[in-house]
Amino acid sequence: MTRNDAEIGVVPTSGAAVITGRTTMRCSGSIGVVAFSAALLVKIASATAHDETKYPDLRGQWTAIGGSVRYVPDKPRGLGQEAPLTPEYQAIFEANLKDMAEGGQGTDPTTWCLSPGMPRVTNGYGEMEFVITPETFHILVFHVFDSRRIFTDGRDFPTDVDPSFLGISIGRWIDTKGDGHYDVLEVETRNMKGPRAFDASGLPLHADNQTIVKERYTFDKNDPDVISNEVTVFDHALTRPWIVTKRYRRSRNPHPWWIEDNCMENNYHIRIQGEPYFLSAEGMIMPAKKGQRPPDLRYFNQPPK
């Protein structure tokens, strides 16, 4: 780590500005002194610190506009999403909806507290926090396993990393207006595993897990409390790339509450031999579907009570 001895005190001859590195300062003095000080500080700062003025100020708590239940927030759930599914995956989806209507969980993996994965986490579950470092754009969410790292350090996609529900995300900042401030973050995510669904209706992605997700986050200085995220999904369950725009709104509460949302807490779903069951309030196993048989207890010596 380099040291900035000069930041401790810069005393111009006119006695105009003493810059101590603290947050309070006096800015006065001759133009020459000001210019010299500016140049020195810029050099020191650029040598040692992340220039956060180039990045949008995203401090605060963000939530999804339109809620997080549906992938396309402004369309009805389920078939109303009008997902461009292939006939094969449309059939899988409809079978899943039928199972859910009968009390099952269909193809939604988050019932069992598995990560929603990509692209579903872009729905914006819970309260989100965006933290920017030069190397990584962090999206922090306490939901199931939703927190993401989007690497912006110029790396290539690795070839030897195990697939994951969230995949590997690599992004790059863009200054579209040429004003020295980044206003777009483009991201690509690959290397996913499954099963994954677009939302809680179980809208499925392909079992081959060859999904690629591209995102374009737009940060508008004129509307700094809204972020747009244009999400494009390339997946073999789809007949074409599916483009959906998500939007997130910021709360201006200076000390927002970050809820610890624990999936397993108060989760009354269990699965035995691939079958879903419920747990009653007293902790006893119950059928999830009409006519559902109880689990096979052949390995227990004692008869059930």
Partner 1 sequence: MIGALMVICGGVKAAERAKYPEWKGAWERWIPQVSVVSPSGLRTPGGQPSFDQTKPWARGQEAPLTAEYQKVLEDSIADQASGGQGNNFDRARCMPTGMPHMMTFGPLEFVVTPETTYILIRTQVRRIFTDGRDWPKEIEPSYAGYSIGRWIDEDGDGHYDVLEAETRGFKGPRVYDASGLPLHFDNQSIFKERIYRDKTDPRIIHDEVTVIDHALTRPWTVDKRYVRDSNRHPDWRESSCIEGSDLVAIGKEMYILRADGLLMPAKKDQPPPDLRYFKHDTK
Region 107-166 residues binding partner 1, contact defined as CB under 8 A: 112-115, 131, 133, 135, 138, 140, 142, 145, 147, 149, 151, 155, 158, 161-162, 164-166
- Pick from 46, 176, 210, 239 the residue near partner 1 by CB under 8 A: 46
The verdict on 253 binding partner 1 (CB under 8 A) reads no
Give the interface size with partner 1 as a residue count (CB under 8 A): 86
Helix count and strand count (H, E) for the chain: 2, 12
The interface region with partner 1, picked from 49-57, 61-69, 93-101, 237-245 by CB under 8 A, is 49-57
- Pick from 57, 94, 175, 296 the residue near partner 1 by CB under 8 A: 296
Q: What one-character-per-residue DSSP string does 191-253 give? A: -B-S--BSSTT--BPPTT---EEEEEEEE-TTSTTEEEEEEEEE-TTBSS-EEEEEEEEEE--
The verdict on 19 binding partner 1 (CB under 8 A) reads yes
Which CB, 36 or 234, lies closer to partner 1?
Answer: 36
Which CB, 11 or 35, lies closer to partner 1?
Answer: 35
Q: How far apart are CA 176 and CA 216, in angstroms?
A: 12
Which pair of tokens denotes residue 227? 């972020």
Q: Which residues, numbered 161-190, are part of the site for partner 1 (CB under 8 A)?
A: 161-162, 164-166
Residue 4: CB minimum distance to partner 1, A: 6
Residue 108: CB minimum distance to partner 1, A: 14
Of 289, 294, 274, residue with least CA distance to 102: 289
Which pair of tokens denotes residue 273? 């031999």
Of 207, 231, 229, residue with least CA distance to 220: 229
Q: How far apart are CA 188 and CA 15, in angstroms?
A: 52
Which pair of tokens denotes residue 181? 């401030």
**Tokens 């396993």 belong to residue:** 145
The verdict on 222 binding partner 1 (CB under 8 A) reads no
Residue 32: CB minimum distance to partner 1, A: 10
Q: Which residues, numbered 54-83, are part of the site for partner 1 (CB under 8 A)?
A: 59
